[in-house]
Amino acid sequence: MIILSCDHAGFDYKNKIKNYLIKLNYEVSDMGPTKYESDDDYPDFVHPACKKMSDKDIGIFVCGSGIGANVVANRYHHIRAVNAVNTEMARLARKDEDANVLCLGARLISYQCALSIIKTFLKSRFEGGRHVRRINKI
């Protein structure tokens, strides 16, 4: 399952991403918000999304810069989140860190760029090997 979350700055991207993923037959859980509120706060939506995630889920969280959502997500021991601004960061996060949450900054990247990053994140796989040792040290 793909768990989605955002704040007001990421609201439009999240809804477009949701529709895109559904068209590709992904199972999606939208943790909100469900309506645009100009003064909402990303922790109010990212915390419940993180709590819902199992070891098999992927999260995609969108806020203005991606930074706030990333900070909140990485407070959870079962989450390794990355704030990717390009496809190479997304690929390496999955390959080396076995990242399971992708944070995006709607004010920093275009929607087309966000889609490219998402596609890369979803198709990339954890390499294992020496990276397991490193992850275990976290």
- Is residue 58 within 8 Å of 79, Cβ to Cβ? no
Q: Look at residue 130 in the predicted model and tell me its pLDDT.
A: 79
Distance from C-alpha of 43 to C-alpha of 69, rounded to nearest angstrom: 7
Range of the domain at 111: 2-136
Question: Mean pLDDT across the chain, nearest whole number?
Answer: 96
Mean pLDDT to the nearest integer, 59-67: 98
Which residues lie closer than 8 Å to 125 by C-beta, 6 or more apart? 94, 95
CATH number of the domain residue 94 falls in: 3.40.1400.10
Q: How far apart are CA 6 and CA 72, in angstroms?
A: 12
pLDDT single digits (tens) 70-107:
999 999 999 999 999 999 999 999 999 999 999 999 99
State yes or no: pLDDT of 127 exceeds 90: no
How many structural domains compose the chain?
1
pLDDT in tens, 107-126: 999 999 999 999 999 999 98
